[in-house]
Amino acid sequence: MKGEIEVREASNEEQKQGDAPTEGNNVGTKCVMDYSDQFTTYSIFNGRGALLKWARAQGKMNNIVIVIKMSDYGVEGKRRPQVILACERSGNYKSCKSSETTDIRLDANSDIKKCARDIGTKKCGCTFLLIGVNIGDGDDRKLEVVCGVHNHPISKYFQGHSIVGRLSKEENALLVDMSKSLMKPKDILITLKVRDATNVSTMKTIYNARIRNRTKEFAGRTQMQQFLNKLSEHNYIPWHMTSGDIVTNLFWTHHINIEILHAFSHVLIMDCTYKTNRYCFPLLQIVGVTSTNMTFSVAYVYMNAEKEDNYTWALTALRSLLDDNCLPRVIVTDRELALMNSITSIFPKA
């Protein structure tokens, strides 16, 4: 059984020498918990994975997060492989005295001064320790309890524990699919918790997973390079105009849209929308109308400004996709003068 053990308060001198593992945090030294019995087993595990799975399951049953402290793959004929498991609060925080750990603040006289950044740590020198040792010539392993004592209160809940809240491969795959479907992070989290009642992931877990997947997908490309890559991957027809290394105008459409446009080219609707991207570039939408009064997308154009030169460039790209016998007869706009002037020069019969 787990039991409570009374221990004495460490003196200030011992704390300075590092004898007190709880230095620098709010963990008390009055009471510690012994979980030796919960992790004592005479079972033989078939491989390292089975041992880790059992230890972590036992830890979860007792609200303890088990982590791998060190892995030793051994040396043939000299040292057997072993894995050392510990509590997530084992060890002590090592401060990093780089510029990243300082904040710039204003003092009482509104003068700028540098000060230490407010930081916290869950490490408190917990002494809990398990060792999984290889036995025999195969991969069989046994688990030994070196120390079953925790020097801190056991958590009642797992919410906020990053290790326990990690997503499994299946959950991460579901997150990727839902993200591609433009689902909001909060809806993704709700779905994961409905599928698994024991899931303790947080919104931070979802955001971090989305960032990792996006970084992996980009493969070192910039956002514009990734966008152009996706257009090419899905067989879109892109045109772009640059000024140095900066893309100033971007036109794209699809072969299917052009085929529909060839069949229903009499009426086009053109309009710009705003605030559809973080760069606040105007997005010109070109829409066609079928004989049954159904609308369909023809093309999209990102422009750095709503000037006649930008509109002329966009309409020239559209004109290059049309034959002389399927030019638009009617073009509807919102009386944007720069656009109307460009239409007059590119589609004079409309």
Answer yes or no: do 203 and 228 share one domain: no
Answer yes or no: do 277 and 314 share one domain: yes
Answer yes or no: do 214 and 236 share one domain: no
Answer yes or no: do 143 and 176 share one domain: no
Tokens of 268: 């086009």
pLDDT in tens, 155-180: 777 776 777 778 888 999 999 999 98
Answer yes or no: do 234 and 185 share one domain: no
Answer yes or no: do 231 and 212 share one domain: no
Answer yes or no: do 48 and 119 share one domain: yes
Say if residue 221's pLDDT is above 90.
Answer: no
pLDDT in tens, 299-332: 999 998 889 999 999 999 999 999 888 899 999 9
Rounded to whole angstroms, how far apart are CA atoms 336 and 306? Answer: 9
Answer yes or no: do 113 and 206 share one domain: no
Q: What would the mean pLDDT of 54-60 be, rounded to a whole number?
A: 89
Answer yes or no: do 27 and 65 share one domain: yes
pLDDT for res 274 = 74
Answer yes or no: do 136 and 241 share one domain: no
Answer yes or no: do 202 and 290 share one domain: no
Structural domain range at position 81 = 3-93+103-150
Q: Is residue 318 part of a domain?
A: yes
Specify whether the CB–CB gap between 48 and 83 falls below 8 A: yes
Q: Is residue 89 part of a domain?
A: yes
Q: Taking the model in full, what pTM does it have? A: 0.57
Lowest mean pLDDT among 63-77, 129-143, 196-210, 287-301: 63-77
Answer yes or no: do 279 and 258 share one domain: yes
Rounded to whole angstroms, how far apart are CA atoms 121 and 117? Answer: 13
